[in-house]
A and B are shown apart, each in its own frame.
Chain A
Amino acid sequence: MRILVVEDELTLAAQLVEGIQSVGYVVDVAHNGVDGHFMGETEPYDAIVLDIGLPQMDGITVLKKWRAAGRTLPVLILTARDTWREKVAGIDAGADDYLTKPFHMEELLARLRALIRRAGGHASTELVCGPLTLDTRSSRASVDGTALTLTSHEYRVLAYLMHHPGEIVSRAELTEHIYAQDFDRDSNTVEVFIARLRKKLPPGLIETVRGLGYRLNKAP
């Protein structure tokens, strides 16, 4: 899962990045509205944390532009003014949830998880696919109740597949969702992670669709 954080206060931005990374997401950060808008429009994020009071272009405008351009990804807005006028404006601009500063990092992570889950149409914090279970709260996966030991990259690949069960996910798509923007990407590494995951999972769960990508099957 790849998250964009748009926050102009550098320390808070760093804390957000650290907090979100700690639960296994990949995070990009932008420090002003213009950069944030550009990144949100060009990169395939799974959710965005957007501060409203941004330099150069305010958060509400950025959000409206994304929505006008047809971007439907979940957006969580951060507001410092804590007025309902601002919250109504944010929701009407297309936000999916709001959080008032100062906030607890756990609260932000819980909201973020809920948004990503909702966007994928999942009602529970636990994603289940056949024998596989993914607890998005604790960032742990298990097979038939037995916990799996996964590296963070392996977890990201599995989590993305679990959020899109039965769908064909291309290698490029996986790459985009498991690496931050400035990371030197090599799609071959995805194949490495898939191969390692296959060793840890029951056979046949991750299917290769030739020329298109991978698919997570509900039953092996």
Chain B
Amino acid sequence: MNLSLLRNSLRIRLLVGTLFWIVISILVAGWGLGQLFHQHVEAQFDAELKNHLDQLTAQLILDEQNQAQVRLLPSDPRLNKPLSGLYWQIDRIAAAGDHPVKAVLRSRSLWDETLAVPADTPADGEIHQHRIEGPQGVTLKIVERTVTIDTHSLRLMVAANESLMTGPIADFKGHLWLALGILGMGLTFAASMQVFVGLAPLRSMQDALGRVRQGDARNMEGIFPNEIMPLVNEFNTVLAQNAEVVERARTQAGNLAHALKTPLSVLANAANAPEKRDDDLARLVASQVDTVRKQVDYHLSRAQAAAAVKVPGMRTAVEPVIRGLVRVMQRVHADRQLEFVVLPDPANLAFRGEEQDLQEMLGNLIDNASKWARSRIEIQVSDESGKLRVRIDDDGKGIAETERDHVLKRGVRADEQVPGTGLGLAITADLARMYGGDLVLAKSSLGGLRASLTLPAV
């Protein structure tokens, strides 16, 4: 048995323990029952032999010539059947002028064999037992007693084939082990069932956890046994805390954005007022306000995503997010007659992550495409070997190959003064990387820019 297997599997642990006890119990029971039956059969066998001996003794008389006679032969038919295995024999013992004679009388079953008993003279009333070799070399069990009538001593003996006793015992033991074997198999099956049923809650816990991981469930659902429930509750608490951390990060980021940006608007408007156009201070304020805005946007979006990336069980359907963003673009660019094509139907594709992060990434890309497109934007969502791929094409003027990397790395560099462009792409690339995906810019077949966003799928 591989010890690490034993250590690693609760099921094997339980099964091995149970099987050990089943085997021990069956061995002990088999041996014990065998012994008991053996003793029982042997006692009965001995009793039968004694019974025959008693009958023989009771019917023994001496005739006028002082010859031993049996008035009524024992009735057991086996005693009349030659070499049946059950025999009796009467010897005369030398005493008071008698000379010993072997087998003065014997059962017909002995035919012309004699029972060769070892020399022994049991006292009157005593019964002695021997095992001897009998006809055809079989082992016989023999009981004998000495009977003295007047002065004549006779030795009465009854013998039986030992196989008459051991045969049934062997038979019984065969049946016994068969029965115990079946019992053992039944118990093993029952034990496996018990382990299976007993560990079922662990399996359903695993399933519940799987659903959380897949993002199908917000927390572990279901009723579990008292022994497991605390674990499940504890885990759900951790999940809830994680979700709360994300929500708190979002709220704080939102509040910070709100708190910062309204004053920034005031500053920017004051600095950009027509009468301040030529004021150096006003220009400095205006440019710094722009930098601050970018820093705030960039770092807040990162901070929010950083909290969300670590939370398991996030799942966001892609289609509603795209549809919402396209609605925004169609409304905002209503006078430009832009055509948005979403292909193919991304109905059941989902992103393994937080909704707002997906919204930010796709929002920046679709917004960028809408800004530059002449008339057509194509959004293609696909599942590529377990990864979610969103490709956004536009028919605008595109970005020169040499500029593409620069645009993605632009980040929050203070010297960037082009309003509203670039930063969105850099933020998107950053968010994608935090989720273990990437953003690649290329030339679109429509003529403009192709942004390919790869993200973990559910």
Seen from chain A, the residues whose Cβ lies within 8 Å of a Cβ on chain B are 9, 11-12, 15-16, 19, 22, 53, 80-85, 87-88, 91-92, 95-98, 100-107, 114, 118, 123
The answer, among A80, A102, A106, for a CB contact under 8 Å with B289, is A102
Structural contact, B419 and A104, CB atoms closer than 8 A: yes
Q: Kindly name the residue among B297, B328, B334 whose own CB sees the greatest number of chain A CB atoms within 10 A.
A: B328
CB distance from B105 to the nearest CB of A (A): 119
Seen from chain B, the residues whose Cβ lies within 8 Å of a Cβ on chain A are 254, 257-258, 260-270, 272-274, 289, 293, 297, 324-325, 327-328, 331-332, 334-335, 355-356, 359-360, 362-364, 419
The answer, among B273, B335, B356, B362, for a CB contact under 8 Å with A123, is B335
The answer to whether A114 and B335 touch (CB under 8 A), given A82-B261, A91-B328, is: yes
Structural contact, A15 and B335, CB atoms closer than 8 A: no
* Chain A hits for B269, CB < 8 A: 12, 15-16, 19, 102, 105
Structural contact, B359 and A84, CB atoms closer than 8 A: yes
Structural contact, B332 and A92, CB atoms closer than 8 A: no
* Chain B hits for A96, CB < 8 A: 331-332, 334
Quick one: closest A residue to B268, CB to CB?
A: A102
* Chain A hits for B363, CB < 8 A: 84, 87-88
A37 to B9, CA, bound (A): 66
The answer to whether A83 and B261 touch (CB under 8 A), given A91-B332, A104-B268, is: no
The answer, among B270, B334, B360, for a CB contact under 8 Å with A83, is B360
Quick one: closest A residue to B335, CB to CB?
A: A118
Structural contact, A12 and B265, CB atoms closer than 8 A: yes
Quick one: closest A residue to B290, CB to CB?
A: A102
* Chain A hits for B258, CB < 8 A: 53, 80-81
A103 to B327, CA, bound (A): 23
CB distance from B367 to the nearest CB of A (A): 8
Structural contact, A84 and B360, CB atoms closer than 8 A: yes
The answer, among B273, B289, B297, B359, for a CB contact under 8 Å with A85, is B359
A156 to B210, CA, bound (A): 66
Quick one: closest B residue to A19, CB to CB?
A: B269
Structural contact, B261 and A97, CB atoms closer than 8 A: no
- Chain B interface main SS type: helix
Structural contact, A102 and B327, CB atoms closer than 8 A: no
The answer to whether A98 and B332 touch (CB under 8 A), given A82-B297, A92-B327, A105-B272, is: yes
Quick one: closest B residue to A124, CB to CB?
A: B335
Structural contact, B261 and A85, CB atoms closer than 8 A: no
The answer, among B262, B325, B328, B419, for a CB contact under 8 Å with A12, is B262
A177 to B365, CA, bound (A): 40
Structural contact, B272 and A88, CB atoms closer than 8 A: no
* Chain B hits for A102, CB < 8 A: 261, 264-265, 267-269, 289, 293
The answer, among B325, B335, B419, for a CB contact under 8 Å with A88, is B325
The answer to whether A118 and B334 touch (CB under 8 A), given A82-B261, A85-B359, A88-B328, is: yes
A105 to B328, CA, bound (A): 22
* Chain B hits for A118, CB < 8 A: 334-335
* Chain B hits for A104, CB < 8 A: 268, 272, 419
The answer to whether A97 and B268 touch (CB under 8 A), given A82-B297, A85-B356, A87-B363, is: no
Quick one: closest A residue to B269, CB to CB?
A: A15
A106 to B270, CA, bound (A): 13
* Chain B hits for A19, CB < 8 A: 269
CB distance from A98 to the nearest CB of B (A): 7
The answer to whether A91 and B359 touch (CB under 8 A), given A102-B264, A114-B335, is: no
Structural contact, B254 and A97, CB atoms closer than 8 A: no
A87 to B450, CA, bound (A): 24
* Chain B hits for A9, CB < 8 A: 262-263, 265-266
CB distance from B366 to the nearest CB of A (A): 9
A22 to B273, CA, bound (A): 11
CB distance from B365 to the nearest CB of A (A): 11
Structural contact, B328 and A87, CB atoms closer than 8 A: yes
- In the A-B complex, list the 8 residue pairs whose CB atoms are closest, starting with the nearest: A84-B363, A102-B265, A102-B264, A88-B324, A101-B261, A80-B261, A15-B269, A80-B258
* Chain A hits for B355, CB < 8 A: 85
Structural contact, B331 and A97, CB atoms closer than 8 A: yes
CB distance from A77 to the nearest CB of B (A): 11
Structural contact, B359 and A83, CB atoms closer than 8 A: yes
* Chain A hits for B360, CB < 8 A: 83-84
Structural contact, A81 and B268, CB atoms closer than 8 A: no
CB distance from B326 to the nearest CB of A (A): 10
A97 to B264, CA, bound (A): 21
* Chain A hits for B268, CB < 8 A: 102-104
A85 to B308, CA, bound (A): 16
The answer to whether A91 and B356 touch (CB under 8 A), given A53-B258, A80-B261, A103-B268, is: no
Structural contact, A88 and B257, CB atoms closer than 8 A: no
Structural contact, A92 and B261, CB atoms closer than 8 A: no
CB distance from A208 to the nearest CB of B (A): 34
A177 to B91, CA, bound (A): 151
A88 to B273, CA, bound (A): 31
The answer, among A11, A82, A123, for a CB contact under 8 Å with B257, is A82
